[in-house]
Amino acid sequence: MAKALPVVDAEERMLQERQFIKVNEIIAQHGKEESTLIPILQKVQEEYRYLPEEILTYVATALGISPATVYGVATFYAQFSLDPMGEYIVRVCDGTACHVRRSTDVLNAIRKKVGLSPEQKTTDDLGFTVETVSCLGACGLAPVVTINDEVYGNVTPEAITEILDTLQKREGK
């Protein structure tokens, strides 16, 4: 059996995380049943920040299902992305409560700030990804925005612009 990779330092670890070897560990953890496809894809997305084409073909081969089927599953669920995602994933709630409390203005302000459009969801430098979601279950705080795992409630266009500004400066972007 292959040995586990030694953890050297943070930079090295980052490198490993991007590594192909990960996908094998993920498959080994979940087993090669067709029913494990979705958990495997979730894990792959966690590791790689998106679902690379070659990895999906590889997963299909390992599970003995057709790549077209894996592609079908990966494109069916909104949680999966076939394009590389940004370091900061900004999700703007556009459920009913948020919508009536002007989430559209917030969304437009975010897109303007990071330079994205409804067609382009991720900045070229892979800094930010902006998406809308239908409900975050925090309607009392409408309009709501999440940035990675952080939740921001009662957001205004001005407030979110300021938050993004801080993040951009922190990243030197």
Partner 1 sequence: MAQTMVIDGKSVEINGERNILEVCRKAGIELPTFCYHSELSVYGACRMCLVELENGQIVAGCSTPAEAGQVVKTTTPRVQKIRKMALELLLANHDRDCTTCEKSGMCKLQDLAQRFGVREVRFGQRDKKVDIDDSSLALIRDPNKCILCGDCVRMCEEVQGIGVLDFAHRGSDMTVTPAFNKPMAEVDCVNCGQCAAVCPTGALIVKSQTNEVWQALHDPTKTVIVQVAPAVRVAVGEVFGLEAGQNTIGKLTQALRQMGFDKVFDTSFAADLTVMEEGTEFLERLQKGEHLPQFTSCCPAWVKYTEQYHPEFLGNLSTCRSPQQMFGSLAKKYYAEELEIDPKDLVVVSLMPCTAKKFEAARPELSTDGMPDVDVVITTQEVVRMIREAGLDYANLEDDSLDMPFGFTSGGGILFGVTGGVSEAVLRAAHYLLLDEELDQVNFTEVRGTEGLRAAEVDVGGQKVKLAIVFGLANAKRLLQQIKDGEAEYHIIEVMACPGGCVGGAGQPATNPEVRSARTQGIYTADKAQQLRKSYQNPLIDNVYEKWLDAPNSEKAHDALHTTYGARRRILGEGISLGDNHTAKQLEVSVCVGTGCYLKGAYDLLHNLGYRLQEAKLNQRVDLKATFCFENCGGGVNVKIGDTLYSGMSPAKTDAVFGKIVDELEK
Q: DSSP character for 122?
A: B
Q: DSSP character for 20?
A: T
- The reply on whether position 10 binds partner 1 by CB under 8 A is no
Per DSSP, what are the bridge partners of residue 92?
132, 145
SS3 (DSSP) at 73? helix
Residues 43-82 that bind partner 1 (CB under 8 A): 52-58, 60-62, 65-72, 75-76, 82
Whichever of 59 and 155 has its CB closer to partner 1, that residue is 59
Whichever of 1 and 150 has its CB closer to partner 1, that residue is 1
∠ CA 47-160-158, nearest 5°, is 165
Q: Single out the segment in contact with partner 1 by CB under 8 A; choices: 16-24, 86-94, 99-107, 118-126.
A: 16-24
Measured in degrees and rounded to the nearest 5, phi and psi for residue 83 equal: -115, 150
- The reply on whether position 26 binds partner 1 by CB under 8 A is no
The rounded distance, in Å, linking the Cα atoms of 79 and 7 is 30
The rounded distance, in Å, linking the Cα atoms of 155 and 162 is 11
- The reply on whether position 6 binds partner 1 by CB under 8 A is yes
Least distance to partner 1, CB of residue 2, Å: 4
Chain residues in the site for partner 1 (CB under 8 A)? 1-3, 5-6, 8, 12, 15, 18-21, 24, 52-58, 60-62, 65-72, 75-76, 82
